Amino acid sequence: MENRSRNKQLKIYLSEAEKELFEKKMKMARCRTMSHFIMKCVMEKEIYIVDLEPFRDLQGLLYNVTNNLNQIAKRVNQTGVIYKDDMKKSIEHFSKELWDIHSLLLRRTKDLNK
């Protein structure tokens, strides 16, 4: 084993379901051995770290907009009057945040492709 360039061994334990999934993916990748499949996964795959914080913020904003929309609908149903400014402010704020997240993702995609 000392003469081999790959002389370190890994050992893992899997549940029956995990083992079935492993074997299924190994067949999908057309790998004949577990060693080949693991090497393919480790050496050929990119690892991406995704910051989901902007989406959490967007989810909060979406919650606020839907809440505001419900309040506006309730007011319209009670009074028959709709206030254009209420909807306009909510939509503009949400649109700005959505555009900021879109721009951020676009910049990060360009940075990854450099």
- 22-40 pLDDT tens trace: 999 999 989 889 888 988 8
Distance between CA atoms of residues 74 and 70, nearest Å: 6
Distance between CA atoms of residues 45 and 48, nearest Å: 10
Q: At residue 35, what is the residue type?
A: S
As given in the structure block, the two tokens for residue 32 are: 């004949």
Tally the residues of the chain.
114
Quote the pTM value: 0.40
pLDDT on residue 104: 78
In which band, very low, low, confident or very high, does the pLDDT at 2 lie, cut at 50, 70 and 90?
low
Q: At residue 91, what is the residue type?
A: I
Residue among 40, 13, 15 at smallest CA distance from 25: 40
In which band, very low, low, confident or very high, does the pLDDT at 13 lie, cut at 50, 70 and 90?
very high
Q: Give the tens place of pLDDT for each residue, 64-102.
A: 777 877 887 787 788 877 766 766 777 787 788 788 877
pLDDT on residue 84: 67
Contact residues for 68 (Cβ-Cβ < 8 A; gap 6+): 86, 87, 90
50 or 96, which is more confident? 96
DSSP letters of 61-94?
HHHHHHHHHHHHHHHHHHHS---HHHHHHHHHHH
In which band, very low, low, confident or very high, does the pLDDT at 50 lie, cut at 50, 70 and 90?
confident
48 or 1, which is more confident? 48
